[in-house]
Structure 1
Amino acid sequence: MPNANSSTAAITDEQVLIVGGGHVGLSFALMLAHQGIKSTLLEKNRFPELSPDDEGFQQHYLDSRNTALSRRTVQIYQEINLWDKLQSHACRIDGVEISEQGSFGKAALNKEEEHVESFGQVMENAWLGRKLLLAAKAEPLITLIDNAQVTNVTQDSDSVSLIFSYFDETNEQQLQGSILVACDGRDSTVRNILGIETTTYDYEQTAIVGVVETDQPHHHIAIERFSPAGPLAVLPLTDADGDGNNDLQTGYRRSVVWVCPKGEESRYLTDEAHFLQTLQEAFGNRAGTFLKAGRRGAYPLTRVLAKKQVLGRCVIMGNAAHTLHPVAGQGFNLCLRDAHVLAKMLSRQVLKGEDIGDNTMLKRYERARLVDQKRVIRFCDAVVHGFTHPNPAVKLARNVALIAFDKLPRVKPLVANYAMGLKS
């Protein structure tokens, strides 16, 4: 049965098939369950064994990847009664400082001026993934299948069939449902099986992602800094024991996204002193002194966009639909808004007693979401290219624009709402 505390539609026998058990796939399954809709989720990796009583996913306090959750994403998790389980390891963003290295332009956002509780929250990926998986395992409306690879997808006017096999077996098995939603990443197997083409743009950049410790507390401030190499960000994180919304915490841990030209990532990954020195030179004293850095990961930055997000009864979602540059932390939040809209539309189909895999309805979903998606893509690319353009006139123009943004009335609220995901 659905959670007793949730407001759900009647349970139906209609089946949603989901491929991809990452953060987007699990979140989508939980959104459907909140609406009383069954789903079966297929994941190629093995899910870890987790105990609800074991709160310590026990990582070194400097070793983690992190995600900035927009205010709208937080609202979505609140809506499905999950935020109470997440927030102890979420660190709120009370303000944002924006500047360019070696230039005069700067701007700032603060929650008091915008009359909001926060601009969003920063959370460790390991914690978010753990809580999503625990919630999915505890939900009777969600069936989880792991260690399985999709080998074929077929569909007709009434249903869609998914053929898969376990990695340690040769026998193929079949799942049948009314709709298939592929959340299986940038190199989506389902997208490739369906023959959906993509457009790809290589930014010729690599993101170095990790966690650092500074000698000054972050005070819940996110710092966006633009350098000749690309956009950089230092985001507030919880203390090692969590509770990032406790005003008494010291807050010396910060999540870092450092963008460098492709081919230069090796030294940043292997030489901690060089990495810290480079950050210090780029950020100056804005974050204090960078003292320690944890294990870092390198991620080539490529924009990958599916030319179609709906084909028959199949929907392409998450990074399978759009993999974006991490500037401004928009990618995951955009995916969650896609998932939330589709879950609501499927719920309305159920309440009307209509087909949840109806192609006309799914095409309507695609058209509706393209508006938000194109806006986010344009914004990300404008920031990436605008702040790395070496022309002095362009540099002057963007610094004047930063000052104008900081001073002109009614401009900040528009940008703030956009960043919080409230304009979609």
Structure 2
Amino acid sequence: MQQEVIIVGGGMVGLSLALMLAKTKIEVKLLEAIKYPNYDDENLATYHSSFDARNSALSRRSVQIYQELGLWALLQEHATPILEVNITEQGSFGKARLKAEQEKVESFGQVIENAWLGRVLLTQVQKEPLIELIDGVQVTSLTQDADFAYIEAKRGEYTHKLQSKLVIAADGRDSFCRKALGIGASEHDYDQVAIVTTVQTSKPHHHVGFERFSHLGPLALLPLPGEYHRSVVWPVKKGTEDEWLGEHNDQHFLDALQETYGDRAGKFQKTGRRFSFPLSQVLAEKQAVGRVVLMGNAAHTIHPVAGQGFNLCMRDAYVLVRYLKEQQAQAADLGDASMLQDYEKARLKDQQRVIKFCDSVVRGFSNQNPILKLARNTGLMCFENIPGIKPLVANYAMGLKS
């Protein structure tokens, strides 16, 4: 059976992309390896491998994309805006601060738990008649010729045999599709794992996000719905994660947060369950080969230090849909190889800028050399005091310059 577009991978990027395509009246078959949860309780968002304990800081551009899809009213119920961002280093003088009011924007973005983002997206996909969703199906073969891309996928004893003019591989950092096409990928292990959880503090967050660089790792504290509720993302050295996980380590974890942040958030009173995720950078050598294009973490997996990974993927998806919409208007081939290569070229500048920035921040702030420490804190002070820098950086962070 011929489909206009097949998406492999039904995580947040795959679901968002499917909805973008459906809005342009392009039919989609979406394949996901893991069985989706049943949402019986409207007040709960069950974890899924792609909608896990992590949170996403949606940039203004990502929010705009969801507004265009007509989804933001549903997502806003579970999100909270970031009105101020503070960047500091523990035990140092440097400090940088961005305020939405000064930059004349409503907010820098919105923080939402991935579990809720995934639930809203999945619910909308399930309602969309132009999207056929098949979960619990494992892709076992991907090939292509001049006319079609061909997929075989197993679900129990049954094998789906599909063909399409275009396949979009959004199947994660260890992408089967990328490997099946023989596309290489460079990988850098940061020797870190991210400790992820939510905490309750005695002081309200006032919609302020903190990035605090410490000897343990760069600690992000972001506001969540509920004025005393915050998300924590703390990359620490690989091999030390057991020190922070488990209920018996709750107070130890809270004490470490208190020591690192001081009293800016008041007293850290309660922590949720902690989860850990290994951190590495994985960059595909190509993103478009024949009738297949890589998307999301299959194309580029980056460090979460500046919260840019998902937002970069959303911009990729949005631009790809724009190219496909032009092809559709001309009744042209949606999987045209030259068009997909044009898409890849169009996205490289934004991708390379974000990848380089995130990698530089991790490497630069991980080095405790006193000279480098002085240099980076001087840089933070320059950022805070030299006119014209903040608006430029703010626009990049919000995804408005790409």
State the TM-score, normalizing by the size of structure 1.
Answer: 0.91
Distance 1:206 1:49 in 2: 30
Secondary structure at the aligned position of 1:113 is classed as coil
- Separation of aligned partners in 1, 2:25 and 2:39: 25
- 1:58 is displaced (CA, Å) by 5.7
Q: Aligned to 2:366, what secondary structure does the other structure show?
A: coil
Query: Do the aligned partners of 1:338 and 1:369 also contact (CA within 8 Å) in 2?
Result: yes
Percentage of identical aligned residues = 57
In the TM superposition, what whole-angstrom CA distance separates every residue of 1:372-393 from its partner, at most 9, and x where no partner exists? Answer: 1110011001111111212211
**Distance in 2 separating the partners of 1:301 and 1:49:** 29
The answer on 1:268 being equivalent to 2:244 is yes
User: 1:41 is matched with which residue?
Assistant: 30
Q: Deviations 1:345-370 (Å, cap 9, x if unpaired)?
A: 10110001111100000000111111
- CA drift of 1:371 comes to 0.8
CA distance in structure 2 between the partners assigned to 1:25 and 1:189 by the alignment? 15
> 1:178-193, aligned counterparts within 5 Å?
178-193=165-180
2:80 is aligned to 91
**Map of 1:285 onto structure 2:** 263
1:371 alignment partner in structure 2: 349
Counterparts of 1:58 and 1:343, CA distance in 2 = 28
Does the aligned pair in 1 maintain the 2:3–2:29 contact within 8 Å?
Answer: no
Listed as ranges, the matches of 1:296-307 within 5 Å are 296-307=274-285
> In 2, distance between residues paired with 1:77 and 1:209?
25
Segments ≥4 residues shifted beyond 3 Å: none
Partner of 1:24: 13
1:387 aligns with 2:376: no
Query: Is the CA contact 1:90–1:122 (under 8 Å) kept in the aligned structure 2?
Result: yes
In structure 1, distance between residues paired with 2:149 and 2:359 = 36
The CA distance in 2 between the partners of 1:182 and 1:14, in whole Å, is 15
The root-mean-square deviation of aligned C-alpha atoms, in Å, is 1.4
- 1:245 aligned residue: none
Cα deviation 1:212-264 (Å, max 9, x = unaligned): 1000000000001011232110000002xxxxxxxxxxx10100011111110
Which runs of structure 2 are paired with 1:211-230 in the superposition (5 Å)? 211-230=198-217
Gap regions ≥5 residues in structure 1? 1-12, 240-250
Counterpart of 1:317 in structure 2 is 295
1:115 aligns with 2:104: yes
> Which letter does structure 2 place at the counterpart of 1:188?
S
Deviation string, structure 1 residues 82-109 (Cα, Å, up to 9, x no partner): 1111111110000001100000000100
Q: Does 1:256 align with 2:232?
A: yes
The aligned length equals 395
For residues 94-173 of structure 1, what are the structure 2 equivalents within 5 Å?
94-166=83-155, 168-169=156-157, 171-173=158-160
Runs of 5+ consecutive residues of structure 2 not aligned to the other structure = none
Asked if structure 1 preserves the Cα contact closer than 8 Å seen for 2:45 and 2:119, the reply is: no
Query: Does the 8 Å CA contact 1:182/1:314 hold for their aligned counterparts?
Result: yes
CA distance in 2 between counterparts of 1:59 and 1:188 reads 24
Local SS of the residue matching 2:259: helix
Determine the structure 1 residue equivalent to 2:331: 353
Contact 2:200-2:268 within 8 A present in 1 as well: yes
Residue identity opposite 1:82 in structure 2: L
Q: Which residue of the other structure, out of 315, 319, 338, is the alignment partner of 1:337?
A: 315
Give the aligned partner of residue 196 of structure 1: 183
**CA-to-aligned-CA distance 1:46-75 (integer Å, 9 cap, x gap):** 122346xx5312679xx9421111110000
Contact 1:279-1:290 at 8 Å conserved across structures? yes
CA contact (8 A) 1:65 1:211 kept: no
Letter in 2 for 1:150: V
Amino acid at match of 1:176: Q
CA distance in 2, matches of 1:401, 1:85: 40
Letter aligned with residue 253 of structure 1: H
What do the CA deviations read for 1:118-161 (whole angstroms, capped 9, x no partner)? 00000011111011001001001100011110111111111111
**Which residue is equivalent to 2:387?**
409
Q: For the structure 1 residues 14 and 172, does the alpha-carbon distance in structure 2 shift closer, same or farther, using more than 3 Å as the test?
A: closer
CA contact (8 A) 2:39 2:45 kept: no
Moved more, 27-36 or 42-51: 42-51
Indicate if the aligned counterparts of 2:327 and 2:333 stay in contact, CA closer than 8 A. Answer: yes
Partners of 1:346 and 1:356 within 8 A in 2: yes
**Counterpart of 1:209?**
196
Deviation of 1:172 (Å): 2.0
Change (3 A) 1:58 1:151: closer
The one-letter amino acid paired with 2:94 is: G
**Does the aligned pair in 1 maintain the 2:221–2:233 contact within 8 Å?**
yes
Distance 1:46 1:354 in 2: 35
Aligned-partner Cα distance in 2 for 1:262–1:303 = 15
SS of alignment partner, residue 343 of structure 1: helix
* C-alpha separation in 2, matches of 1:58 and 1:66: 13
Q: Distance in 2 between matches of 1:228 and 1:40?
A: 46
Alpha carbons 1:101, 1:225 under 8 Å: kept: yes
For 1:220 and 1:184, the matched residues in 2 are separated by: 33
Alpha carbons 1:18, 1:39 under 8 Å: kept: yes
Shift of 1:177: 0.9
Question: Does the 8 A contact of 1:14 with 1:37 survive in 2?
Answer: no
Residue 237 (structure 1) aligned to one of 224, 229, 251: 224
Alignment-mate amino acid for residue 203 of structure 1: Y
